[in-house]
């Protein structure tokens, strides 16, 4: 079982996205869905636009913050974003696109100046259009680049099966050597004892892996096995996001996560959907469409 833990993540900063993008169109919804930390900047993406936000990692500063206009391409928006520190390139995830009689996810590759370079499919069949790959991160091993795509549903399934906990899956992709695209190489299984109802995003730094769940309103931290391909080395620790005074969830729309340092993560929250308004309280409405910085209690459990 995962290490027993009742300590919540500690909120350090929290700012609505519109306050961080003062020149943005106030009529835009800005449904935040992913974030990656690169130096002093946070790069954020949205599932309702292909535009990319560039923010200072100190959320008290807005100087230099900007919204890079949407590029032409497939998909209405992105689900997550990853960065390759060696090349400086970014990879933005499209959850699912039709392919034959089914669906596959795709990635748009951008250069360090956020100029779109290519569009490639991730060679893995998906259960449905709205239950595809929800999270993306990049890992380099032995000089090779790998994309790790997190399935939204347990066992990469939709419907009731996808909501049955204990089946978290991360799909591993490597570049095709003969032509463009990403081929499926392996599957990393999250611990069966991780009882998340869904999966929103993941981030890897060194051997530390963190995964967030929107429905479970929690963050899990584990450790990748250093000497074996694509295996989690332990059961990890789960940390709930802070709750309100009456014990109700305050963070109902957490979507993206990225490490700031071994003890802190940055998280972004989506807009509460109209059909969910009757289920969530005012606390959740107050934290929607925000960028948050949380401290992990007692520091990261996986050095």
- pLDDT band, very low/low/confident/very high, at 172 (cuts 50, 70, 90): very high
Q: What is the pLDDT of residue 299?
A: 59
- The pair of structure tokens assigned to 151 is 């399935």
> Is 4 domain-assigned?
no
Question: What does 194-239 look like in DSSP terms, one character per residue?
Answer: ---S---EEEEETTEEEEEETTTTEEEEEEB-SSSTT-B-S--EEE
In 85-196, where does DSSP find H-type helix? Answer: 159-163
Residue 182 has pLDDT above 60, yes or no: yes
CATH number at residue 226: 2.115.10
Q: What is the pLDDT of residue 303?
A: 47
- pLDDT band, very low/low/confident/very high, at 29 (cuts 50, 70, 90): confident
Calpha distance 217→253 (Å, rounded): 8
Average pLDDT for 115-141: 92
When the pLDDT of each residue in the chain is averaged and rounded to a whole number, the result is 91
> Is 1 domain-assigned?
no
Average pLDDT for 2-7: 62
Cβ–Cβ under 8 Å, residues 174 and 214: no
Overall number of domains in the chain: 1
User: Tell me: the pLDDT tens digits for 62-72?
Assistant: 889 999 999 99
Q: Indicate the pTM of the whole model.
A: 0.94
- pLDDT band, very low/low/confident/very high, at 125 (cuts 50, 70, 90): very high
Q: What is the pLDDT of residue 300?
A: 55
> Is 162 domain-assigned?
yes
> Is 134 domain-assigned?
yes
- pLDDT band, very low/low/confident/very high, at 227 (cuts 50, 70, 90): confident
> Is 178 domain-assigned?
yes
Average pLDDT for 88-117: 95
Q: What is the pLDDT of residue 3?
A: 54
> Is 224 domain-assigned?
yes
Residue 112 has pLDDT above 80, yes or no: yes
Residue 117 has pLDDT above 50, yes or no: yes
- Domain of 164 in residue numbering reads as 10-295
Element (H, E) at 7: none
Q: What is the pLDDT of residue 37?
A: 98
């Amino acid at each position: 079982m995962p290490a027993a833990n009742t300590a919540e993540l500690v909120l350090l900063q929290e700012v609505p996205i519109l306050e961080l993008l003062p020149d943005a169109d106030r009529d835009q919804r800005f449904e935040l869905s992913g974030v990656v930390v690169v130096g002093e900047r946070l790069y954020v993406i949205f599932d309702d636009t292909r535009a990319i936000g560039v923010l200072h990692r100190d959320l008290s500063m807005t100087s230099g913050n900007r919204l890079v206009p949407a590029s032409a391409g497939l998909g209405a928006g992105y689900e997550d974003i990853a960065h390759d520190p060696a090349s400086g390139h970014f990879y933005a995830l499209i959850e699912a696109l039709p392919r034959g009689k089914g669906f596959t996810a795709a990635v748009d590759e951008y250069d360090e100046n956020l100029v779109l370079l290519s569009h490639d499919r991730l060679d893995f069949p998906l259960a449905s259009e709205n239950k595809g790959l929800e999270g993306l991160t990049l890992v380099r091993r032995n000089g090779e680049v790998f994309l790790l795509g997190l399935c939204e549903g347990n066992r990469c399934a939709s419907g009731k099966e996808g909501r049955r906990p204990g089946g978290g899956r991360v799909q591993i992709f490597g570049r095709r050597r003969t032509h463009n695209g990403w081929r499926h190489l392996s599957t990393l299984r999250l611990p069966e004892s991780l009882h998340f109802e869904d999966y929103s995003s993941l981030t890897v730094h060194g051997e530390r892996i963190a995964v967030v769940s929107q429905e479970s309103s929690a963050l899990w931290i584990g450790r990748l096995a250093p000497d074996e391909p694509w295996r989690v080395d332990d059961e990890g620790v789960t940390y709930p996001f802070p709750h309100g005074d009456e014990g109700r969830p305050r963070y109902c729309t957490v979507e993206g996560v990225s490490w700031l340092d071994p003890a802190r993560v940055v998280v972004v929250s989506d807009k509460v959907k109209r059909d969910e308004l009757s289920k969530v309280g005012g606390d959740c409405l107050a934290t929607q469409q925000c960028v948050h910085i949380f401290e992990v209690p007692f520091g990261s459990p996986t050095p």
